[in-house]
Amino acid sequence: MVNNMKNNPQLNRNGELQHLLTIEGLPAATLRHILDTASSFLNVAEREVKKVPLLQGKAIFNLFFEPSTRTRTTFEIAAKKLSADVINLNVGASSTSKGETLLDTVDNLAAMQADMFIVRHSQSGAPHLIARHVAPHIHVVNAGDGRHAHPTQGLLDMFTIRHYKQDLTSLRVAIVGDMLHSRVARSQIHALTTLGVPEVRVIAPKTLIPACAERMGVQIYHDMAKGLKDVDVIIMLRLQNERMRGALLPSAQEYFKYYGLTTEKLALARPDAIVMHPGPMNRGVEIESSVADGVQSVILSQVTFGIAVRMAVMSILMGSGAGSKQ
C-alpha cells in the first residue's frame, strides 16, 4: 500500500480515500460505501435539529474558479449540516486576477488552518495538482474540472438510480446529449460500469461524441428512437454552449427536434423509466417541460440526494487515517 498515494493520489498510505478527484479507478466497494453512508444522512433533514456534529471545528473552503450556484450551494449546505465552518471564496475574481498562482492561493488558505478544499476549475487536472501539493491532513474534493470529471455529481446520480431501481445489475441506462464537453457524463459512465450496470447507451449527434467514447464501454446511438427503446433510466445532459467552439450544432431548435426529450420519445422507454438531468436545464432544448415536471422525472430528488452524498464524501474523507493533523 505504500505506493498508493503515488499511483493514485486519491488514496492515502493505508488505501483509504484521502481525496475525491475522479470516479475512474475507484473500486466498486468504495463507491458503495459512499452511497451507503449517504443513505444514513438522508433523515437528517427530517430532524428538529438538522445537523450532526461530525465535522465540528473543521474548516472547509469552497474554491470555485468558475461560476456555479447549485454545486457550490449543495456543498455548503452539506458541510453546514455536518457542523463544519464553511468559507466561500470567489477566487476567480480575486487572487488569480492579481497574478497569484493557483498553488500560491492554496498555500495561503492552508495557512489559515484549512481542513478541506472543494475545488471547481475550468482546467482539467487542477484539483489533482492541488491534491498532490497539500499537506497530508488536508483533503481535496473535485467539484468539476474542465471536461474531465465531476465525481460527486456522478455519485448522486448513482444514488438516485439505486434509490428508485434498487438493483443496478439489470438496468439499461441511456445518457443523452453533449458528451463531448460533459465532465458529468464521464463520471456517470465510470460509476455505472464500475457498479455493474450491464448496458450503458450514449445518444447524441456525431459531433458531440468524443473519439474515446467506445473505449469507455458504452453503446453509441445517433438515433433517439433506437437508443431509448426499453431503457430503465434516461439521463439528459445540458448543452455545454460555453465550452463549444465552432458549429457543432445547426441550432437549438434542430437539436430539440432530434435529441430533446418529449413525451412521445419518453414513451419509447420502459413504462417505469425514470428521467434525470444534472441541471441547470434548458427547457425546450434538452427536455420538454411536461417531461421535466412529469411523474417520471426525479430531477428534484437528485438535488436533495446530492446533499446527502456530499455529506457522505466529506465525512468519509475526514475520517480517513490521514484526517487528523500531526
Q: What is the pLDDT of residue 253?
A: 87
* 159, 114: one domain: no
- Whether residue 326 is contained in a domain is answered as no
As a whole number, the mean pLDDT across the chain is 90
CA dist., res. 218 & res. 199, Å (int): 7
For residue 233, the surrounding DSSP H or E stretch is strand 233-236
Confidence band of 90 (pLDDT split at 50, 70, 90):
confident
Residue with cell 412529469: 294
More confident of the two residues 291 and 251: 291
Selected residue with higher pLDDT from 212 and 325: 212
Per-residue model confidence (pLDDT) at position 243: 42
Q: Who wins on pLDDT, 212 or 126?
A: 126
Residues 292 and 310 in one domain: no
How far is Cα 54 from Cα 228, in angstroms, rounded to an integer? 43
Instruction: Specify the pLDDT at position 241.
Output: 61
The answer as to whether 325 is a domain residue is: no
Assigned domain for 313 exists? yes
290 and 179 in a single domain? The answer is: yes
Residues placed in the known binding site for carbamoyl phosphate: 70-71, 120, 150, 153, 279-280
What is the average pLDDT across 49-68? 92
pLDDT (tens digit per residue) in 181-202: 899 999 999 999 999 999 999 9
pLDDT over 80 at 110, yes or no: yes
Same domain membership, residue 99 and residue 132: yes
Annotated binding-site residues for L-aspartate read 98, 183, 238
The answer to whether position 276 is within a domain reads: yes
- Statement to judge: residues 37 and 159 lie in one domain: no
Q: Residue 36 and residue 43: Cα distance in Å, rounded?
A: 13
What is the rounded average pLDDT of the residues 138-162?
Answer: 97
Q: Is the pLDDT of residue 3 over 60?
A: no
Range of the domain at 217: 151-298
Q: What is the CATH number of the domain that holds 206?
A: 3.40.50.1370
Instruction: Pick the range with the lowest mean pLDDT from 17-31, 154-168, 246-260.
Output: 246-260
Q: Do 141 and 246 fall into the same domain?
A: no
Segment 1-27 shows an average pLDDT of 78
Please indicate, yes or no, whether residues 169 and 274 belong to a single structural domain of this protein. Answer: yes
Predicted local confidence at residue 155, as pLDDT: 98
| In a shared domain, residues 187 and 115 | no
54 located within any domain: yes
Does residue 323 sit within a domain?
no
Residue, of 3 and 78, whose pLDDT is higher? 78
Cis bond leading into 210, ω under 30°?
A: no
Instruction: Give the pLDDT band (50/70/90) at residue 244.
Output: very low
Position with higher pLDDT, 247 vs 146: 146
Q: Of 292 and 320, which is predicted with more confidence?
A: 292
- pLDDT of 229: 98
Using a CB cutoff of 8 Å and minimum separation of 24, what contacts does 99-107 make? 102/65, 102/126, 102/129, 102/130, 103/129, 103/130, 103/133, 105/63, 106/63, 106/130, 106/133, 106/134
Residue 108 banded pLDDT, cuts 50, 70, 90: very high
Whether residue 191 lies inside any domain: the answer is yes
* 246 and 287 fall within a common domain: yes
What is the structure's pLDDT at 96? 58
Q: Lowest-confidence range among 95-109, 122-136, 290-304? A: 95-109
Q: In the prediction, which pLDDT does 216 show?
A: 93
Average pLDDT over residues 126-145: 95
Residue (of 23, 12, 13) closest to 195 by Cα position: 23
Compute the average pLDDT of residues 77-104. 81
Decide if 241 is inside a domain. Answer: yes
Which residues belong to the annotated binding site?
70-71, 98, 120, 150, 153, 183, 238, 279-280
Residue 2 has pLDDT above 50, yes or no: no
Whether residues 267 and 313 fall in one domain: no
The reported pLDDT for the residue numbered 211 is: 87
Residues 77 and 159 reside in one and the same domain: no
The closest alpha carbon to 138, from 162, 165, 169, 107, belongs to 107
Question: Total domain count for the chain?
Answer: 2
Per the confidence metrics, is the pTM higher than 0.85? yes
Domain check: are 155 and 275 in the same one?
A: yes
Q: What is the pLDDT of residues 252-264, one digit of tens each?
A: 888 899 999 999 9
